[in-house]
């Protein structure tokens, strides 16, 4: 079994060296921690699937340090993409482009003629990529299907002994993964909602953005992560609680006190004395930052069989938050 090392920011060159040797290094972004491998090394990429237990037809995001690195695989970028990069890169926007034939391994693309690219806002990770000299695949650094990691400790919990190391830059600031925008189709299409909203993208492009194409059929190959398989799910059943259902939900939780975990705002938690709670903060921004950490908190408690979590309006960041929460819950809502 591998010894998994926690690398500090001052050790970024050592972490980059491991990547050039074909090893797996988890890295921080502003959204969640990613599991890095040299995107041009097919054997290293295949080890990512093995480490995560991830289906091999689920394509991987290619994480880059600059837009110039993207051009090595796509050629010249369309004007619309350049506008979006000017506005949102580095940041939580991933874009899907057609790529040059054979420029990236099939293990990265899922056999498609496109690939998804992202330049994260985290400076340490951009330095890591620059030091390695190659783009990195960057799926979330967790066991496949489980809540995404927002700290180095989450990564270590899931992948100790399976990867060479984790580059630790503290907790992530956004907490839900990047928006994925398909720029390879006639009309820009959101494949996964995230911190950059369809409205923000449309304002830059001056055209409508399709935003309801988040799933594919069982026999289709997805263009981006999160479109086909169950994601973000702890062992317990998550139940989504609408704002007007909290009185009933808390009464039910009191009757099942030992087996229910409550993720909620301080206002709700104040009405649940003696119950097992996790503070998500007062609004959808903090709830998004802490959603995965909260799911992981209760996932470590074998006695918890149900997790109550708050619904938010599906607008702006709320669309990304509810997308992740619905997947964690299997779309199950609390019913009084």
> Residue 180 to residues 131, 150, 198, 320, 331: CA-CA distances in angstroms?
26, 19, 10, 11, 21
Q: Where are the beta strands (DSSP E) in the chain?
A: 5-7, 25-27, 34-38, 61-63, 93-98, 114-118, 136-137, 165-167, 179-182, 189-192, 237-241, 260-264, 276-279, 306-310
| Length, in residues, of the chain | 336
Given the DSSP bridges, would you call strands 93-98 and 179-182 parallel, antiparallel or unpaired? parallel
Tell whether residue 178 is among the known ligand binding residues: yes
How far is Cα 310 from Cα 92, in angstroms, rounded to an integer?
24
Determine whether 317 is exposed, middle or buried from the number of CB atoms within 10 Å of its CB (0-12, 13-18, 19+).
buried
Q: Which strand (E) or helix (H) includes residue 158? A: helix 152-159
Supply the DSSP string of 32-43, one letter for each residue.
S-EEEEETT-HH
What is the rounded distance in angstroms from the CA atom of residue 314 to the CA atom of residue 265?
17
* Nearest alpha carbon to residue 151 among 163, 160, 165, 141: 141
Annotation-wise, does 4 bind a ligand?
Answer: no
118 is in an annotated binding site: yes
Asked whether residue 162 is marked as a ligand-binding residue, the answer is no
Q: Which of 181, 135, 154 is nearest to 16 (CA)?
A: 135
**Closest C-alpha to 147, from 10, 334, 328:** 328
Residue 297 labeled ligand binder:
no
Mapped onto helix, strand or coil, the DSSP state of residue 234 is: coil
Residue 140 marked ligand-binding = yes
58 is in an annotated binding site: yes
Is 10 known to sit in a ligand binding site? no
Task: Confirm if 277 and 246 have CB atoms less than 8 A apart.
Answer: no
What one-character DSSP code corresponds to residue 264? E
For residue 126, say whether it is annotated as part of any ligand binding site.
no
Known binding residue 54? Answer is yes
Burial class from Cβ neighbours inside 10 Å (0-12, 13-18, 19+) for residue 221 reads middle
Binding residues: 31, 54, 58, 114, 118, 140, 148, 178, 192, 232
Binding residues for L-threonine: 31, 178
Binding residues for ATP: 54, 58, 114, 118, 140, 148, 192, 232
């Amino acid at each position: 079994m591998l010894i998994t090392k926690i690398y500090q920011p001052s050790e970024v060159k050592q972490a980059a060296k491991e990547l050039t040797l074909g090893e797996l290094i988890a890295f921080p972004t502003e959204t969640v921690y990613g599991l890095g491998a040299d995107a041009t090394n097919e054997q290293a990429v295949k080890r990512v699937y093995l480490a995560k237990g991830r289906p091999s037809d689920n394509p991987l995001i290619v994480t880059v340090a600059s837009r110039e690195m993207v051009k090595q695989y796509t050629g010249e970028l369309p004007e619309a993409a350049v506008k979006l990069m000017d506005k949102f890169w580095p940041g939580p926007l991933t874009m899907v482009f057609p790529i040059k034939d054979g420029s990236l391994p099939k293990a990265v693309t899922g056999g498609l003629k496109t690939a998804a690219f992202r330049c994260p806002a985290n400076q340490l990770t951009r330095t890591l990529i620059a030091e390695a000299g190659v783009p990195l695949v960057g799926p979330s650094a967790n066991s496949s299907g489980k809540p995404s990691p927002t700290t180095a400790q989450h990564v270590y919990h899931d992948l100790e002994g399976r990867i060479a190391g984790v580059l630790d830059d503290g907790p992530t600031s956004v907490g839900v993964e990047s928006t994925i925008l398909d720029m390879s189709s006639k009309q820009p299409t959101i494949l996964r909602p995230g911190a950059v909203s369809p409205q923000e993208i449309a304002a830059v492009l001056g055209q409508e953005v399709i935003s309801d194409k988040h799933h594919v059929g069982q026999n289709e190959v997805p263009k981006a992560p999160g479109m086909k398989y169950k994601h973000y799910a702890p062992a317990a059943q998550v139940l989504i609680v609408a704002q007007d259902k909290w009185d009933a939900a808390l009464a039910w939780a009191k009757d099942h006190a030992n087996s229910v975990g409550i993720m909620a705002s301080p206002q709700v938690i104040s009405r649940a004395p003696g119950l097992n709670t996790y503070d998500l903060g007062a609004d959808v921004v903090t709830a998004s930052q802490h959603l995965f950490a909260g799911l992981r908190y209760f996932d470590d408690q074998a006695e918890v069989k149900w997790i109550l979590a708050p619904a938010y309006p599906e607008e702006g960041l709320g669309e990304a938050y509810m997308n992740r929460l619905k997947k964690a819950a299997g779309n199950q809502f609390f019913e009084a």
